[in-house]
């Protein structure tokens, strides 16, 4: 987060597009809808984010910024885990839906740092 500006009940800042995907940004700020209105303006290299407290009351700027950083990290990690486990999910679904009389062959390379070999099944 850069260019953080706080004015009464309004907080604005920019987020680098190279760090967070559009999906991560929208998933993160969706959870703020109860208390804040938000606006996301994408440009070529960053997102301009504006949060406005719905009650128009002042809020603890540092606490909110800390919460946003934690939530962005949380959704980024979820995106990474989803990407890394996509092949495993597809294998589980294919195995569950396959006919047990036919042999299922794995057509993709799956790597796992803990040594799980899906071809052993």
Residue range 78-95, pLDDT digits in tens: 999 999 999 998 888 888
Residue-level pLDDT at 20 = 94
pLDDT band at 77 (very low <50, low <70, confident <90, very high): very high
Mean pLDDT score of the chain: 84
CATH class, 2-97 region: alpha beta
Residues 29-63 have pLDDT tens digits of: 999 998 899 999 999 999 999 999 888 777 788 88
Q: What's the confidence (pLDDT) of residue 100?
A: 63
Length of the chain: 121
Give the predicted TM-score (pTM) of the model.
Answer: 0.70
Cα separation of 92 and 85, whole Å? 11
Find all residues with CB under 8 Å of 118, minimum gap 6, and list them: 88, 91, 106, 110
DSSP for 42-106, please give it: E-SSEEEEEEEETT-----HHHHHHHHHHHHHHHHHHHHHHHHHHHHHHHHHHHHHS-TTSPP--
3-state secondary structure of 40: strand
Share of the chain above pLDDT 70, in %: 81
């Amino acid at each position: 987060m850069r260019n953080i500006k706080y004015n009464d009940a309004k907080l604005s800042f920019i987020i680098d597009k190279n760090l967070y995907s559009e999906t991560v940004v929208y998933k993160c700020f969706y959870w703020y809808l109860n208390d804040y209105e938000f606006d996301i303006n994408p440009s070529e290299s960053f997102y301009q984010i504006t949060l406005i407290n719905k009650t128009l009351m002042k809020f603890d700027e540092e606490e909110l910024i800390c919460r946003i950083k934690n939530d962005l990290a949380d959704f980024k990690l979820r995106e990474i885990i989803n990407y890394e486990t996509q092949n495993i999910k597809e294998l589980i679904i294919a195995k569950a839906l396959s006919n047990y009389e036919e042999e299922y062959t794995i057509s993709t390379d799956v790597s796992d740092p803990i040594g799980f070999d899906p071809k052993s099944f």
